[in-house]
Amino acid sequence: MGNKANAILQDSGMERAILAGITTYGSECFFEVEDIISVKDFYWTCNQELFKILSHLVHNEDTKTFDIPSIQAIAKILGHDNFTSSGKHSEYLDAVVEEAGSSKDNIRSLVVAVYKLSLARRGYLAAATVQDNLKKITGAEDVDSIIGQIEEPIFEFTGQIMDQGASVVSLGKRFSNVMTTLAENPQDIIGLPTGFPAWDASIGGGFRQATVNVVGARPKQGKSFFCINVARNMAENGIPVLYLDTELTSDTQLHRLSALVSGVDLD
C-alpha cells in the first residue's frame, strides 16, 4: 500500500473494505458509495487509483460486475500500471477482489466513516493554514487583515462542504408540474406575515422557506425592538418562534415583551 509520513485521520482497513464491497456487489454498490464519497475522500494513493479504475468501468464501460482481468486492462489504459499483473499493487488488487465484502449496510456505515475522516483531514489542513498565516504576522497589520487570515481558510473549507453534491438542475423538466400545482392550489399568502405589511411586501410576501432575512442598522436604532415585535406578531398567529439574543438580558426582553402585549409604555 505504501507509507505516508505521519498518516492521520485515515483508516486503510475501512477504505479497503469499501473497495472489496464494490468488487463483491458490483455497479449497484458502486453507485451507492459514489453518492457519498469520491476519489479525494480516500487517503491512500493506491485506493484512490483503484476507485478511479472502478469508476471508469462503471461509467464508461457500463460494467455491472468486476473481475481482475477487466480491472487490469482498464488500469493499463488509464496509466495505472501498478495494478497490472507485473505492477507493485497487483497482489493488493488480488486480495481486494478475493476478499468477501461486508453486508451492504455495513459498507454504507464504512463509507460514512471514511467521509467523516476526509472531512476532518480537510478541516485539519484549514486549521494548519490558519496557523501558518498567523506565524507571518509582524504586528504592522490592521485587525481586519489578521481576522481575514483566520477566516479565509475556514470559509474556503466550509464553502467546499456546502458546494459538494451541487449539480445542474433542468428547470424545464419541472416547470409543467410546478405550474399545475400552483394552478390547482392557489394561495393568497405565500409567506409568513410579520405584522409589518410594508416589510412583508419588500421580502416577497413575508418570511418564505429557504430564505434568510437580515436587519441591519447602527446601534440603538431599534433592531432588537423590531425583531421582538415580529416575534410577538408571529407567535400570536400560532407560529412557533425561536428568539436568540446575544446582547440584551432576559429581564430587558421580558419587560419589552410585557409592554408590547399590555400596551403599557415601557417607561
Contacts of 207 (CB under 8 A, 6+ apart): 191, 192, 194, 213, 234
3-state SS class at 207 = strand
Q: Identify residue 203 by its one-letter amino acid code.
A: I
Q: If 0-12 CB within 10 Å is exposed, 13-18 middle and 19+ buried, where does residue 42 land?
A: buried
Half-sphere exposure in the Cβ direction for 262 (13 Å, CA): 10
- 260 neighbors 234 (Cβ within 8 angstroms): no
Q: How far apart are CA 259 and CA 48, in angstroms?
A: 63
- 266 neighbors 255 (Cβ within 8 angstroms): yes
Q: Which of 11, 14, 12 is nearest to 106 (CA)?
A: 14
3-state SS class at 192 = strand
Q: How far apart are CA 102 and CA 92, in angstroms?
A: 18
Q: How far apart are CA 37 and CA 152, in angstroms?
A: 25
3-state SS class at 154 = helix
Reading the chain (267 residues) residue by residue, the pLDDT tens digits are: 555 656 889 999 999 999 999 999 999 999 999 999 999 999 999 999 999 999 999 999 999 999 999 999 999 999 999 999 888 999 999 999 999 877 888 999 999 999 999 999 999 999 999 999 999 999 999 999 999 999 999 999 888 887 665 566 678 877 888 888 888 888 776 789 999 999 998 888 899 888 899 999 998 898 988 999 999 999 998 999 999 988 889 999 899 999 988 999 988
Instruction: Identify the pLDDT of residue 22.
Output: 95
Q: How far apart are CA 93 and CA 87, in angstroms?
A: 10
Q: How far apart are CA 189 and CA 248, in angstroms?
A: 33
Contacts of 7 (CB under 8 A, 6+ apart): 43
Instruction: Identify the pLDDT of residue 266.
Output: 86
Q: How far apart are CA 20 and CA 93, in angstroms?
A: 9
